[in-house]
Amino acid sequence: MNRSESYDVIVVGGGHNGLVNAAYLAKAGLKTVVLERRYLVGGAAITEELIPGFKFTTFSYAISLLRPEIVQELDLVKHGFMVLPMVNTFQPGYHGEHLILGSDPDVNYHEIAKHSIEDAEAAQDLDHLISRMARAIKPWMDRIPPNRLSSDPVEVNALNELKVYLEDLDPEVLDLIEKCTTCSIAEILEGYFETDLIKAMYASSGIIGSRCGPRDRESGLVWLFHKLGEYDGLPGSWGFHKGGNGGFTQALARSVEDFGGEVRTNAGVDKVLYEDGKVSGVLLQDGSILKANVVVSALDPRQTFTRLVEPGDLPKDLVDCIENLKFQGTAAKVNFALSSIPTFPGLEGREEIYRGFTNIGPSIDYLQEAFEDCENGKFSRRPFLDCCIQSTIDPEMSPPGNHIMSCFVMYAPYHLKQSDWKSERENLADTVESTLTEFFPGFSDLVLHREIVTPQDIEEIVGLSEGNIFAGELFKSQLFLDRPAPGWNQYRTPIEGYYQCGSGTHPGGCVSGGPGRLAAQRILRDKGL
């Protein structure tokens, strides 16, 4: 293929945000190229056939926070976008105790009422309030946030608009938002529920991917962030892309190309080129140079500001902020190829219970103890596991009769105090397998193959610093007005023409596409398009 060495826009990194950004810019008529270091695009949203017949969603594994506008505006259905519903969450407990919750409020009421009528009523109230909160916050998640350090009247007015908007919210909604920003998820849930299993099911969203336990204040905000997702118009619901998340990012790549953009793999970028404070292109790792007056980094903030450019060429306060950002990766994955479906006592033959998430973490105490191991520099002896048997949703993920199971593991700290991940990776997998066997007798006998992903693997393979899946913790000081740094939350950088669009920018991590879309809006406005 004949490739020009000069472009209007170069996007560094072929993760989903980079692809979203490139598709919008190509759609606007800009000559755009995406440069991906690896052999395939997708970043952490990929599908790989690591053993014959079994398709692994190696890293990220579900869709919820994806902005529906992106699907429509980029014609993704035309390019193969297809999300299958994850119909329920299965929460095993001890001695056969369990919860199976789905999208039907009446069914959920009766399921919870088996444990506590009071909790069933409280769950209805809380779920309704969560939906109202999500609807209230969503407009501000889908717009370029104000710059709180700017004296520009436009920015000052936007901040005032935000203040008035919050003051005018329904008091119940505002109260829950305030609790999420100041309280732990354990504190919040103690005000609603009495049953351990129910509290644990709700609390798990407050610890996913972050270095915090359910009793840490930061967990409330992590929980709020995850509650902003939706699938098919249902707040808080999740879906699984046909063929895994790699199916989604391949649809994005086709969209980029359909709009006239170019996607290049095995094209690692060594550094961004600039002169007199203006970007001029990139130097590739093979020594070649591509020219452009706009370069967009889809990498995390540490890579964007301290690897691709010289930190000494940036304002010191920005560099200090980036160096102090909390990444603190604590998530791992163990993906299993299974000979058959696991069995839970009393629910034998009930394959439908696995057509969504399976949460292993029967109480807040269990989750807290798992976190305390992490704080001591160890991976959890009894980890929280967020599992999905994806072949029950999409049978083409595995050979007939077999299954593929994705297990998101909390907690696995990036830094181990008395060991290293080369020594501990198999021990981690053993621990995950034994934990699953505790709840699903005979599970180990079903294992045909297991694929282990440590935080260091996430960093080395995908390029996410310290293996942090959100490209920076979802903590109050690292969100919205301050993501990734005060004054630099609108996708620009101090180098003219150099932009950022990764998950380390607003609105944050997960497979949302929001950063890519909003960064494209910023770039097009700056160019007068």
Whether residue 411 has a cis bond before it, omega within 30° of 0: yes
Last residue of a domain, one of 212, 236, 260: 236
Question: Does 206 share its domain with 143?
Answer: yes
Q: For residue 57, tell me if it sits in a domain.
A: no
Contacts of 444 (CB under 8 A, 6+ apart): 433, 434, 437
Question: Does 261 share its domain with 228?
Answer: no
Sequential pLDDT tens for the chain (529 residues) = 345 589 999 999 999 999 999 999 999 999 999 999 999 999 999 999 999 999 999 999 999 889 899 999 999 999 999 999 999 999 999 999 999 999 899 999 999 999 999 999 999 999 999 999 999 999 999 999 999 999 999 999 999 999 999 999 999 999 999 999 999 999 999 999 999 999 999 999 999 999 999 999 999 999 999 998 876 666 667 899 999 999 999 999 999 999 999 999 999 999 999 999 999 999 999 999 999 999 999 999 999 999 999 999 999 999 999 999 999 999 999 999 999 999 999 999 899 999 999 999 999 999 999 999 999 999 999 999 999 999 999 999 999 999 999 999 999 999 999 999 999 999 999 999 999 999 999 999 999 999 999 999 999 999 999 999 999 999 999 999 999 999 999 999 999 999 999 999 999 999 999 999 999 999 999 999 9
Three-state SS for 380?
coil
As a whole number of angstroms, the distance between CA 41 and CA 21 comes to 14
- C-alpha separations of 353 from 140, 350, 359, 391, 491 in Å: 35, 6, 12, 13, 42
Question: Does 157 share its domain with 262?
Answer: no
Question: Does 172 share its domain with 272?
Answer: no
Residue 447 CB neighbours (<10 A): 16
Burial of residue 420 (CB within 10 Å: 0-12, 13-18, 19+) is exposed
Q: Per the confidence metrics, is the pTM higher than 0.75?
A: yes
**Look-up: residue for tokens 């969203």?**
205
| pLDDT value for 233 | 66
Most distant CA atoms of the chain, gap in Å: 70
Q: Which residues pair with 405 in a beta bridge?
A: 336
Q: For residue 83, tell me if it sits in a domain.
A: no
Question: Does 133 share its domain with 218?
Answer: yes
Q: For residue 372, tell me if it sits in a domain.
A: no
Query: What phi and psi values does residue 406 have, to the nearest 5 degrees?
Result: -100, 125
| pLDDT value for 4 | 52
Amino acid at 186: A
| pLDDT value for 1 | 37
| pLDDT value for 122 | 98
Question: Does 147 share its domain with 226?
Answer: yes
| Token pair recorded at residue 30 | 């800009």
- C-alpha separations of 399 from 51, 64, 131, 371, 372 in Å: 11, 27, 38, 36, 39
**Look-up: residue for tokens 């692809």?**
19
| pLDDT value for 2 | 41
| pLDDT value for 60 | 93
Question: Does 298 share its domain with 190?
Answer: no
Whichever domain contains 313, its CATH number is 3.50.50.60
| pLDDT value for 64 | 84
Contact 43, 66 (CB under 8 A): no
Q: For residue 501, tell me if it sits in a domain.
A: yes
Count structural domains, the chain.
2
End-to-end CA distance of the chain: 29
Domain coverage including residue 167: 119-236
**Look-up: residue for tokens 């998530």?**
331
Question: Does 291 share its domain with 206?
Answer: no
Q: For residue 407, tell me if it sits in a domain.
A: no
